[in-house]
Amino acid sequence: MTGTNDAASGGAARDLRNADGSPSAGTAPGAAGRTGLLEPVHFIGLGGAGMSAVARVLLGQGVRVSGSDAADSRTLRALAGLGAEVHVGHHAAAVPDRGTVVVSSAIRPTNPELVEATRRGLPVLHRSQALAAAMTGRRTIAVAGTHGKTTTTAMITVLLRQAGLAPSFAIGGDVAALGVNAAWDTGEVFVAEADESDGSFLNYSPQIAVVTNAEADHLDHYGSADAVQDAFRHFAALLPDDGLLVACADDEGSSTLAGAVPHTRRVRTYGYAPTADIRISATRALGSTTNSVLSFAVDGLDAQQDLQLSVPGRHNILNAAAAFTVALELGVDPSVAALGLSLFSGAARRFEARGEGDGVRVFDDYAHHPTEVHAALTAARTVAGDHRVHVLFQPHLFSRTREFAAGFAEALSLADTATVLPVYAAREDPVDDVGGWTITDRMPAPGSAYVADPDEALRTVVGNAAAGDLVLTLGAGDVTQYGLRLVRLLMDRETTPSAGLDGAGGTDQRQAQGGATG
């Protein structure tokens, strides 16, 4: 499948660097426009959320884009429709003769396209470097944090659109209110999700930096919690003298970061803490809806603003307060900011409704860190009311499972039943002595089970759920595919009461983790 875009722009190329920051092995001839990227720009792994976002922005600027991915997808077809030259499968022949090659941290050095690009001496950039180039000339808002950055980035974008600022944006997930995960627009602001997982958020030059929280995670990359905190300090240090750090006062890591910023830099905090500059209070929850009051100062005068959200959970109220703080900095009227936030209906895989069957509602969430799991299940309990909550959890990465097994066990205990799948390995090689059982062994209470076979796990969840209950699929791997399967099983059960229940009971199976890589 191919699509083409013949647009090219002129200009002088700037010095490009490899993904590790070292000088490129060579320079390639070709046009370089306002971004300084030599064209065409070729993405290895184009279908990924982060990569496709950058490609959309470049296509919106008229930059020639090509790319490949292992399998066909709706994302690839959409990009082809926008003019990208798209290849299914990774082959050396897909690499253009000239231009710039873009990779993410998920691309291994043995990828045939990366090997070919290196052999030819083409400039190779990390995805974050390509996005940084695409944002040149815009006032950049970079949103970072161990959790909540996708939702917060999306909230800021929806709010600013409602306020008429026409922001460009790049988000690590689809947003219903936006229709896409990225776009190039006419306003002077660019809102970008800044991924800390591999340190690539240090490639940006933000004028406003948002840190939703700063917890230990991605220790496979950083090695220690202290190294994670150091990375966030470097991120805050990227701000210019007239820049602004927006930090969560309720999170220890974020508030510590705010306190360490030199007094010459501006900081605005938000949260329930009494010291927060934008303080949340009077929160009331009814199902998926919450109402809160935001207290803040404008031009030295105390002010308040009612905030209503249609997405559940305390964590989303905090995310909205971060977006509100950014809006105040940009001069948006508080009532307009609150209206924009009230229109936010959620980001893909963030407590996303997947359907209902036999009176059981099924939701899906990307949570893959103990704090995220705790937040998602707390929200689920609010939405479920007096009914029970059942969770199907897929651990993501062996290193994270080993490091946070006790935290996962504690968070999952918020559910009435917890069924845990094998680890989704993603970029890691399997580890024999770590698995889903590493978590459930710390959950002796009835209702928790490690189930190695996905089909049996689905039957277990269906067997546990009764009409009025809520089921939540959790994890950053392919567990998201199981939500619709659960809905179908529940619907089958509704028409044939015995359907989907054979084998229920959650037998603990410590089988080899075949399929753990998804």
Report the catalytic residues. 149-150, 193
Q: Is the peptide bond before 40 cis (omega within 30 degrees of 0)?
A: yes
Closest by CA to 473, choosing from 464, 482, 462, is 482
Residue 453 CB partners (closer than 8 Å, separation 6+): 509, 511
Residue 505 CB partners (closer than 8 Å, separation 6+): 460, 463
Q: How far is CA 441 from CA 398, 409, 452, 464, in A?
A: 16, 8, 14, 20
Closest by CA to 196, choosing from 182, 214, 173, is 214
The H-or-E segment that residue 130 falls in is helix 127-134
Residue 305 CB partners (closer than 8 Å, separation 6+): 293, 294, 296, 324, 334, 335, 337, 338
Q: At what angle do helices 314-329 and 149-162 cross, to 10 degrees?
A: 50
- How many contiguous H segments (helices) and E segments (strands) does the chain have? 15, 21
Of how many residues is the chain composed? Answer: 518
CA 154/CA 218 separation, integer angstroms: 23
Tokens of 95: 């690499």
Q: For 289, what's the count of Cα atoms within 13 Å in the CB-facing half-sphere?
A: 6
Helix, coil or strand: residue 377: helix
DSSP letter assigned to residue 92: G
Contact 333, 298 (CB under 8 A): no
Neighbours of 461 (CB within 10 A): 28
Tokens of 465: 């759920």
CA 293/CA 2 separation, integer angstroms: 51
CA 370/CA 414 separation, integer angstroms: 12
